[in-house]
Amino acid sequence: MTSNQSISDIADFFGAYTYKDDLIYFMAENIDDWRHRELALRKDPFIRAFVSKLNKELFFEKPIFTPDIFGGKEQTEEEGVPALNGDGNSIRLSNKPPLEATQEMDVLGQTEKPTHDVTQEWEQEKWTQLLIKMFNKTRIHRYSVVKLYDRKPYWRVYCDREITEIYYDDEDNPTGCKVEWSRSMPKSNKYFNYEETITFFDGDILTLEEGKNYGLLVQFGSAESDENLGELDIEDIWSLAIYIRYALLDVVQNSAKCSGFFWLMYGSAIDPTARQALLNALDLSGSGRAIGAGENILKQVTAMYPAHPEFSIEALGEFIRQFSMACRVPLTFFRSESEKGSLFGEQSGDEIKLNKQKMYIFSLFKTAIIALIKMRWGIEIEDVKPNLLAGEEEQITLQNNFNNQNTNNFNQKEEVKPFGRKLQ
């Protein structure tokens, strides 16, 4: 302690709530700034739960493919189309030879349909992590570009952070993009810069041109504006997430952090000398918790405490309920508990609601997943579904509803509206 510091200075410093939340300190509140969206995905507990953690639960088990690509015996007549080789330096589709289908004999000696098993490569190349990251980036940035490589890291997911330019054809349909990014290695002074031009895969392997660098453009939903490539899944909950941050800050700083202060009512005989002496005595009372003064100097000492902290707590709870409603997921998903004592009870309506939301989100990425499997292994996929951990009866109902949804085949050519002005 220096000579010009008082005991109260030290107490105020060490007793203060000094942690600064990045989201509030840096005012990460502009949804049009990709940096703010990225920071929210990493640090906002509610946005992260709705996006990242929900996606992780969605891929807790590998998806169910038709035909099965994990060693099952159900397969279409087409054994898959071999992918073209690239230049070996940048990734394209896969440069590995087409996966050979195996045939097995049934009990009657008849040949069953060919099967594929990509389990080993799926695990080695971390495809579950690829799908989770693709879902994360696409949901918070409207779109992403997935690029497959024939060597580690085997894939990358690009978004607004790396994409510097998008190319369009004469009908304003996106045809490719340019990406630039840099990285530094952990515990190393090395720093790398990268640049790549990517041509968007249109779903037809037979039309691919040798030597081109192919990637997949993934769009989330349907853009409400012609100037966007997709919709933001967090746009309607962004304001509520910010309200929750400040409500929590109010609870912590104004209620939990501070035990209050003392209000001094001076007597009629107070003067500057007596006032300074009184303040010095208050400094010394930090350890003794006692102070003495005549009524003509100090008439009254009143302890002032934060009033009604339960108001902020109640507001915080209401904001969380509104956030849950806007996300269309049960409140128990954010609280990780229910009034019955477990997250989801038997035949829980909350679990059904949550699984419906998962099924809906997954349905928006079906064509992208099918296209990625075709790009990597040359296998024609008829359908893909999430493998949700649910009761048998509920699972059948959810899958039937999922099958009835209108999902477009990636190979079908549809009339596409212009995407608006080209990016400069």
Tens-digit pLDDT profile for residues 73-125: 443 334 443 343 334 333 335 444 445 555 544 444 444 555 688 999 999 99
49/82 Cα distance (integer angstroms): 39
pLDDT number for residue 13: 46
Closest to 54 measured CA to CA, from 157, 140, 125, 126: 140
For the chain, first and last CA: distance in Å?
58
- Rounded to a whole number of angstroms, the CA Rg of the chain reads 30
111/105 Cα distance (integer angstroms): 5
pLDDT number for residue 92: 39
Rounded to two decimals, what is the model's pTM?
A: 0.71
Contact 96, 112 (CB under 8 A): no
Q: How far is CA 106 from the centre of its chain?
A: 46
Closest to 296 measured CA to CA, from 266, 252, 316: 266
424/120 Cα distance (integer angstroms): 42
pLDDT number for residue 118: 92
Classify burial at 163, counting beta carbons within 10 Å of its beta carbon; exposed 0-12, middle 13-18, buried 19 or more: buried
β-strand partners of 55: none
What are phi and psi for residue 212, nearest 5 degrees? -80, 155
CA distances from 19 to 23, 244, 249, 257, 314 (A): 12, 17, 11, 11, 23
What sign has the CA pseudo-torsion 389, 394, 398, 400?
Answer: positive
189/184 Cα distance (integer angstroms): 7
β-strand partners of 66: 383
SS3 18: coil
Phi-psi region of 172 (alpha: psi -120 to 50; beta: other; left: phi over 0): left
Length of the chain: 424
What sign has the CA pseudo-torsion 225, 231, 235, 237?
Answer: positive
- β-pairing, 191-200 vs 155-158, is unpaired
Residue 44 is encoded by which pair of tokens? 């906002």
pLDDT number for residue 14: 45
Classify burial at 246, counting beta carbons within 10 Å of its beta carbon; exposed 0-12, middle 13-18, buried 19 or more: middle
Contact 161, 41 (CB under 8 A): no
58/134 Cα distance (integer angstroms): 13
Residues in the chain, pLDDT under 70: 1-19, 72-115, 206-207, 254-264, 283-309, 336-348, 389-424
pLDDT number for residue 75: 38
Which residue stretches of 213-291 are H helix? 238-250, 272-288
> H or E element: which one contains 19?
none
**Domain residue spans of the chain:** 61-220+364-404, 261-304
